[in-house]
Chain A
Amino acid sequence: MAAVTAPVGTARRLVRWTVLAVTGVYLLLPLLAMLEFSTRGTGGARSLEAWRDIGESSDLLDAIWVSFQLAVLTVLGMLVLLVPTVAWVHLRLPRLRRVVEFLCLLPLTIPAIVLVVGLAPIYAWVSYLLGNSPLTLTFAFIVLVLPFAYRAIDAGLSAIDVVTLAEAARSLGSSWWGVLLRIVVPNIRGAIISASVISVALVLGEFTISSLLNYDTLQVVIYLLGKRNAELSVAVSLAALVFAFALLFVLANVGPRRTRGSGPVEVKGPLA
């Protein structure tokens, strides 16, 4: 028996490592090329000038600050909008669950490039009412992160017996706000962290809506800088990719370990 299965196992291992090597090269080569490209000096020497320039480009630092603020505002807005609503639907309005789910997943079927066409006239009003600040992009970004955040929060609420917990709290005299803040939120902490991290990653990577509504976010400035200082743009891009990887890698290890293949990162598939 062993004599029969051994060569099969070897062939399988060979195929496996070939696949890993080939796709690995395809996926990693451009990233390594970014490292080489951004550290080119004069006359074939290595230089960290492009990386030093990141700290000296005021356009870039401004954009990083704007995108950082947008990420924080989007996360706060998303949590305020979604956590009470989804919890309320789980507790009191189970018949609305399908409707809320449909609305939350709708942005997956309406591409950002389509959404921005319809948002342009609305943003004329938004900037008239609230001023022409890039931070108003928060409204659009909350819509963009809705599907991913909803999946995480809904999964978190489905994993606990939220109805029983809420009944216990209510019978002990808690208000609904007490239930939300002292029962629901602590019990779905992991889901809230997942939803927030995914939202941060999406906001930091957003280009379509910010660029077509003419706001200078991180991605827009990377794109504009690329026209005159390619090394700098490549360096920032690589830094941002590594930052996002670190964020998701930490999330994958911090989040509660669930069943095979359904870690928190799984909810990231845009249309999954």
Chain B
Amino acid sequence: MTDVVAPTSVPGSEPAPPATGTGGAQRLLRAAPYLGVLPFLGYVTLFLLWPTYIVITGAFQDENGAPTASNLTAVLGGGEYLDAFVRSILLSLATAVAGAVLGALLAWAVAEGSPDGLLHRAVIAGCGVLAQFGGVMLAFAFLATFGFTGVLTLFLADILGVDLLGGGSWLYGLAGLVVAYTYFQIPLMLIVFLPALNGLRPQWREASENLGGTGWDYWRHVGGPLLLPSFTGATLLLFANAFSAYATAAALVSQGSPIVPLQIRTALTSEVILGQANVGKALALGMIVVIAVVMTAYALLQRRTSRWLR
């Protein structure tokens, strides 16, 4: 037991003392605290690291487990899968920028009020629900608003006599996803951007005003540059959020699989094409790569932001 546990559970600890008569026992004693995290590490390995490993290795294997590049060439070789990636990235980019701008404005409007006020607390709780809880339910909210028998569609058709929205059919495609995704990006932006806004000290504004600066001058030369890294970082988070979203699209899109998560669903649930058994894993690997790039950029920005925030 001593020989089995001690060497495996002390990686990264101090160099082991020279082996004496009690060396083994001492090493075991020093390793003992590490046993405390074993249940956690075991659990995370089984249900987080192992699935990730299956995805990454599976992307390079055929149905018999032999190495192959055919999954990756199917994804990267153009056609439906690559188009889905392009659409996913454009959708995420558009909704991240729209959500970031609108959400930052909302965050500013909320931050202007008292932090203990009812509006402040209600907006934060409401944003938490809409940003996190949404998914399928938000899809139904949009069906009830803009769908074929949606409130706004009927209102415009019956009362104003116009059919501006094409009877609601736009909602079930990419355009609908842009509107629905922006809807949950705004509250998420508020949640991640509000702390940065609250980090702006009133003294900075007062200093700017004392020097004769207008509100515009303050935002142009002080507030704007200070908030830019947080704003960019939050936009990257919003991108990753939209890129990984599945539920809203699954409930809203009625035909085809325009974006990558829906392509993965198709790969998981339908008959496999010969020689592309693991194409779903290749698509999933592609998503991991895109998000890893975005999150790396985010981490770099975060380091810059933390220099002045708090």
Q: Do A and B bind each other?
A: yes
Binding site for B on A (CB under 8 A): 8, 11-12, 16-17, 19-20, 23, 26-27, 29-34, 36-38, 81-82, 84-85, 88-89, 92-93, 95-96, 100, 103, 106-122, 139-140, 142-143, 146, 201-202, 204-205, 207-208, 211-212, 219, 222-223, 226, 230, 233-234, 237-238, 240-241, 244-245, 248-249, 251-253, 257, 260-263, 265-266, 268-272
When C-beta atoms are compared, the residue in chain A nearest to B294 turns out to be: A109
Task: For the complex, give the distance between the alpha carbons of A117 and B35 in Å.
Answer: 31
CB of B140 within 8 A of CB of A269, answer no
* Given known A33-B141, A96-B37, A118-B54, contact A219–B136 (CB-CB < 8 A): yes
Residue of B33, B40, B151 ringed by the most chain A CB atoms within 10 A: B40
Task: For the complex, give the distance between the alpha carbons of A172 and B135 in Å.
Answer: 51
Task: For the complex, give the distance between the alpha carbons of A80 and B265 in Å.
Answer: 33
CB of B106 within 8 A of CB of A269, answer no
Task: For the complex, give the distance between the alpha carbons of A268 and B134 in Å.
Answer: 13
* Given known A19-B106, A240-B137, contact A111–B246 (CB-CB < 8 A): yes
Task: For the complex, give the distance between the alpha carbons of A262 and B108 in Å.
Answer: 16
CB of B144 within 8 A of CB of A30, answer yes
* Given known A122-B51, A201-B132, A248-B125, contact A211–B198 (CB-CB < 8 A): no
Task: For the complex, give the distance between the alpha carbons of A211 and B241 in Å.
Answer: 19
When C-beta atoms are compared, the residue in chain B nearest to A237 turns out to be: B137
Residue tally, chain B, CB below 8 Å to A: 92
CB of A103 within 8 A of CB of B48, answer yes
New A-B contacts (11) at CB < 8 Å, excluding given A261-B194, A263-B124 = A23-B102, A33-B152, A81-B39, A112-B246, A113-B261, A143-B48, A223-B136, A230-B149, A240-B133, A270-B188, A271-B241
Q: What's the nearest-Cβ distance from chain A to residue B104, in Å?
A: 10
Q: What's the nearest-Cβ distance from chain A to residue B59, in Å?
A: 10
**Contact partner, B186, options A27, A89, A248, Cβ 8 Å:** A27
CB of B105 within 8 A of CB of A33, answer no
CB of A207 within 8 A of CB of B192, answer no
Residues of A within 8 A of B109 (CB): 16-17, 19-20, 23
B256 contacts the other chain (Cβ, under 8 Å)?
A: no
CB of B136 within 8 A of CB of A207, answer yes
CB of A261 within 8 A of CB of B198, answer yes
Tell me the interface secondary structure of chain B in the complex: helix
Binding site for A on B (CB under 8 A): 12, 33-34, 36-37, 39-41, 43-44, 46-48, 50-55, 58, 102, 105-106, 108-112, 115-116, 121-122, 124-126, 128-138, 140-145, 149-152, 183, 186-188, 191-192, 194-195, 197-199, 214-215, 237, 240-241, 243-244, 246-247, 250-251, 261, 264-265, 268-269, 280-281, 284, 287-288, 291-292, 295, 298
When C-beta atoms are compared, the residue in chain A nearest to B113 turns out to be: A16
CB of B268 within 8 A of CB of A116, answer yes
The 3 closest A-B pairs by CB, nearest first: A118-B51, A111-B244, A37-B144
CB of A245 within 8 A of CB of B129, answer yes
Task: For the complex, give the distance between the alpha carbons of A53 and B134 in Å.
Answer: 22
When C-beta atoms are compared, the residue in chain A nearest to B138 turns out to be: A30
CB of B132 within 8 A of CB of A29, answer no
CB of A85 within 8 A of CB of B135, answer no
**Contact partner, A117, options B46, B195, B281, Cβ 8 Å:** B281
CB of A244 within 8 A of CB of B50, answer no
CB of B105 within 8 A of CB of A81, answer no
Q: What's the nearest-Cβ distance from chain A to residue B247, in Å?
A: 4
* Given known A110-B288, A113-B284, contact A120–B268 (CB-CB < 8 A): yes
Residue of B43, B150, B265 ringed by the most chain A CB atoms within 10 A: B43
Q: What's the nearest-Cβ distance from chain B to residue A130, in Å?
A: 13
Task: For the complex, give the distance between the alpha carbons of A257 and B116 in Å.
Answer: 9
Task: For the complex, give the distance between the alpha carbons of A81 and B287 in Å.
Answer: 29
Task: For the complex, give the distance between the alpha carbons of A212 and B43 in Å.
Answer: 22
Q: What's the nearest-Cβ distance from chain B to residue A252, in Å?
A: 5
Residues of B within 8 A of A238 (CB): 137, 141
Q: What's the nearest-Cβ distance from chain B to residue A153, in Å?
A: 12
Q: What's the nearest-Cβ distance from chain A to residue B219, in Å?
A: 11
A-B contact pairs, 17 of them (CB 8 A): A30-B138, A92-B33, A93-B33, A95-B12, A112-B246, A113-B265, A115-B48, A117-B58, A118-B51, A122-B50, A143-B44, A207-B246, A223-B250, A248-B129, A260-B115, A268-B128, A272-B192
